[in-house]
Each structure stands twice: as C-alpha cells, then as structure tokens.
Structure 1
C-alpha cells in the first residue's frame, strides 16, 4: 500500500514538472515573439526615417539645382550638393532637352486647352530661328480604327480622340508672322485638316497614332495645344531644335536607402493670349 502511494506521488510530481516546462516554453515563445516584433518595428521605423530623409535630400538637391542652374545654357551641367547631415548625400544632373526628336513635357500628357511651347529659336533671345520641316506626333491611345464613332462621338472621358491646334510664330522678332493649323481626326472642327487614317510612329519609346508635318521658315516659337482631351505629344524636325528646358535628376542617400527625384523644368511658357486667332483664345 505504501508503494502505491509513493507511485502516485511521483506521478503527480511528474505532471507538475511537465506543466512547469510547458508554461516556461509558452512564456519564452511569447517573449521571443514580442522581442521579434519590437525589433521588426524598430527596423521598419528606421527604414521609414531613412527613406524620408533620403527623399528630402533629393528634393533639396532639386531646389538647389534650380536656384543655381544657368538659364538657357544648353550644355550638360553636373553638380554635387552637400548637406548638413553627413548621412545624406545628393548628386544632381541638369541636362538640356533638344535635338531632332523631343517629347514635350518630358513624355507626360500635355494639358487640354493649355498646350506647350516648342522653341524653334534659342531661348531667351530668339536667335538662330529654325528653317525646315517640323512634324508633330500625338495621341498614344490603344486604338484599332481612327475616327471610330464611339470615340469621336464622346465629348469627355479619357478615350476621346484629341484634336491638335498649332500656332506658329516665324519671321522677324519685331514683326512676326502668325500661322495657325488645326488637325482633327474626327472632323469636329470646321476648316480643320482631317486625318482619318492611323499612322503609328514611335518617338522616345512612345507610339503615337497621328502625325502632321508643317514647313517652317525662320521659325521662332510654336505652341501646340490639345483640344477635346489631354494627350502626349512629340515633335520631330528635319534640323536639330534648340534646348527646350532642363531635366533634373536628384539622388538622395540616407544610410542604405536611396531615393531619386526627377523634375522637368521647361522654359517659361508664353501666355496663350499672345497668340491671336487661336481656337482656344476665341
């Protein structure tokens, strides 16, 4: 009988020991999980802080580059800017946009009814005017048939075909000649040149649906205005066009985090009201 009591007593002690071991394991697991989460949160917080600092450094490089850039200088300008924090570094490159093929607004859409200037002479003194053929490319929508009723019939929405108005200033700076052209693939504008066939052409990695060529003699500046819808626009020329602005790339570094900011700065745009006989200004 005493043997049986001792046996049961040893069994109870074994169960208690097992419970203690399991409790310890659970406690350690919970503790390690909390520590792991804390370390992860601290790491994420540090990464977010470094990312923010790197982004601010890159933005600061853009601001310093804009303030120190040489206006109208078409040459490549590279500058390194220091920062008050030793962990942040910035390198900013300013390059002029010009040549035989140009993406307006650095390849982003040009706003409807606002347009962008294309400098055919050297900014800001209108020297060295351009003589040659200038081709405008527009509309990068994925379309099969130009002038399809479901797209030409709409008056709003991203699928609407863009028409294009081009106003050219040429000749003498003191007494320039104004020439206006309107190109509409859907025949919505009276007396416009109608393009009812898709002629795809790739410029700067973007495929455009329409193109129109204008002969220019002593061209000074040209404003290209999308109508009915915003659109991406490219310009090609038989002769190299002058600088259109600056493309600034700024890289900020904080710790192991690197952030890059790209900013396109075009030359000051001539007010639309300066161009007479415009479809938009009327």
Structure 2
C-alpha cells in the first residue's frame, strides 16, 4: 500500500534519513523503533507526503507520489491519516473535532448519502463519527468540549478523527508516549481495530514492549538508516544485524 525506497532527507548539512526503505501493506502494523532524535518523525512526515525527499521515491498504491501534480498528490495524501505525539484539537465539541476529517476530504456528503454505509445524522453527527469514537471509548463524550478532556482523552479523540474517514494508511507518531497505562491500552486496542479494518499502520515508538505487542513487523531505525526490517518475533529474539542486537539488548546507547 505504501512504499518508500532509498529515501534521503537532510536538514542543512545533516543527514536525517539516508537510503531508507520501508513498506506497509493493507491490514499490517509496522513499528519503527529507535531512540529519540534518529528521524522517526521525519520518516512519518515523508510517508505522509508532507515533505518531499531529496532522493528516492514514495509510492502510494503503486503511484509515485512526487511524480504527479499537486491535485493528485493531495488526493493521495487525503487517503492517509496521521496522529501526532501531542494531540491538537479544535475549540469545539468532540463530535465536531472528529467530523472535521470527513469534511476536509469532501467525503461527508458522499458518506451521508451512501446506501452502503446507511449513515444517519444524529444530533448533527454521522454514524461514522460515533463509530470511530466508540473504538476509543469516547462515544459517550460526543457533546463534550475538547478543552475539558484530559491529555489521554484528547489523544483518543485524535485517533478517532483519523479513523473516521477510513484511511488506507494510518501513521502514528509516538501516540502513547505521554499516556498512562489505561489510555495506552485503549490506543493499542484501536491499532488492532485499524488492522482488522484492513488499514496499513505505521507506528513510530521508542517503546520496544509496545512494538512487541502491536506490530506484525518491526523496522529498526538507527543513525539515519534502517538497520533491519523483520517479523516482530525475529527482531526481538533473533535479529540478524549486530547493531539491532546491541540496541535491543541496551548495549547500544545514543
């Protein structure tokens, strides 16, 4: 579904990503693990088509995203959801925040009229909004103001907003780094739900235990390049790259 091949990104004279390649298929969770500052967020922004790589290609569903015009690229970008480390919600209700993703993608009217989804307006909100909030345990808070939410609740709403428009790929940047165990568990369950819906998920995290819990494959990002990509059990039990072994064991310190 999403393929990055030999991408490079620099900031000034510093190489942030160099000849980096990674893929995610539909219904697969790929965790990108690595210490802080090695380029995980830069990678996600590149995969999200926010930033053009200086070298390499990013293909979405077989299309080279930077070889097409701006309108077509925008269409591709709108099939990708992203949840950032810090939740950023609008000064509005929970329902209105989640509804926003549908509106900007111009899919609101089509989804409401769709016989397939049989969406029904309820208090000004489509079933898609309620269903995505239900995934993160926030359906009862639809009318609540975003400003009244805790940090964990706000992050759950951010996840629901990205899930509501059924993206093909969902990119998560340290989505639970500041959350307590309960909210972390809810987000991890929501990642599993996204997988069940056939969404490809890339989650960047420095929490290796989380990667073990949620991922089908793990990519290890160290010093601007991916040292190894393999099934999760292989990465944590029998990695082939010495740098990966040292990082997993805690011997390699950044």
Question: Taking structure 1 as the reference length, what is the TM-score of the superposition?
Answer: 0.24
More strand by share: 1
Question: Taking structure 2 as the reference length, what is the TM-score of the superposition?
Answer: 0.25
